[in-house]
Amino acid sequence: MESPFRTRVKICCISSVDEARLASQLGADALGLVGRMPSGPGVVADDIAAQIVKATPPPIATFMLTSETNLAAIIAHQQRVGANTIQLVDAVPPDTYAQLHKALPAIKVVQVIHVIDERNLDEALEAVQYGVDALLLDSGNPNLAVKELGGTGRVHNWQVSRKIVEHSGVPVFLAGGLKPDNVREAIDSVQPFGLDICSGVRTNGKLDAQKLEAFMKTIK
């Protein structure tokens, strides 16, 4: 059955104020700003990320993606960029969410789960139990020698993602290899609160208005 709710869209790997404006004009609910990462194509310098945050009007949310796992380093990253949402792309000690909420009460915290197999359901439920505001299901592999923490362009096992949506009780964003061609099937299979996309709406690394329009049209 078709869902009566609108699927939210986060456009990630935003690299300039112009890309932020384009994504906002074409209907993005949130923008993703990728901080320093061990690998991946979407990183933006903190000073540019801060400019994008300043130029982004409400109600569009700004997600700052951090690979930091130490509380003080995560807070310092948020203070440099000023985003209203912290997206943790690596695993953190479980008390980190409560400590972040205490230190930064106005800032929402999203935990990325890199979906590999059924065991990720437990990982997701633990993050919820410890107070995370939302989950984002992606296709990285934090077990590699050089960690992959996002921006892979790969689809993961959506059956596991569907279970996480059904059991977690918090908003869940689906990421990983989404594009205009597969996004309808992704929504039907997983029923996420929101979608997150980077490489599927880009050409030669730049945000592509035609691809983004096609993506948005498919969702509506």
Ligand X SMILES: O=C(O)c1ccccc1NCC(=O)[C@H](O)[C@H](O)COP(=O)(O)O
Q: Where on the chain is the footprint of ligand X (CB under 6 A)?
A: 12-13, 32, 34, 37, 40-43, 65, 89, 138, 149-153, 175-178, 196-200
Minimum CB separation from ligand X for residue 196, in Å?
A: 5
Number of H helices, E strands in the chain: 8, 10
Minimum CB separation from ligand X for residue 16, in Å?
A: 15
Residues 6+ apart with CB under 8 A from 151: 12, 13, 34, 37, 40, 41, 42, 198, 199
Minimum CB separation from ligand X for residue 220, in Å?
A: 20
> CB–CB of 70/100 below 8 Å?
no
> CB–CB of 63/52 below 8 Å?
no
For residue 213, the number of C-alpha atoms closer than 13 Å in the C-beta half-sphere is 5
Q: Cα 187–58–76 angle (5° rounding)?
A: 90
Cβ closest to ligand X, residue 95 vs residue 181: 181
Cβ closest to ligand X, residue 34 vs residue 50: 34
3-state SS class at 205: coil
Name the CA dihedral angle for 206, 41, 30, 164, rounded to a multiple of 10 degrees.
130
Minimum CB separation from ligand X for residue 163, in Å?
A: 20
Angle between helices 46-55 and 17-25 (to 10 degrees): 40
Residues 6+ apart with CB under 8 A from 119: none
Q: How far is CA 140 from CA 2, 37, 85, 176, 202, in A?
A: 29, 12, 20, 8, 19
Minimum CB separation from ligand X for residue 131, in Å?
A: 21
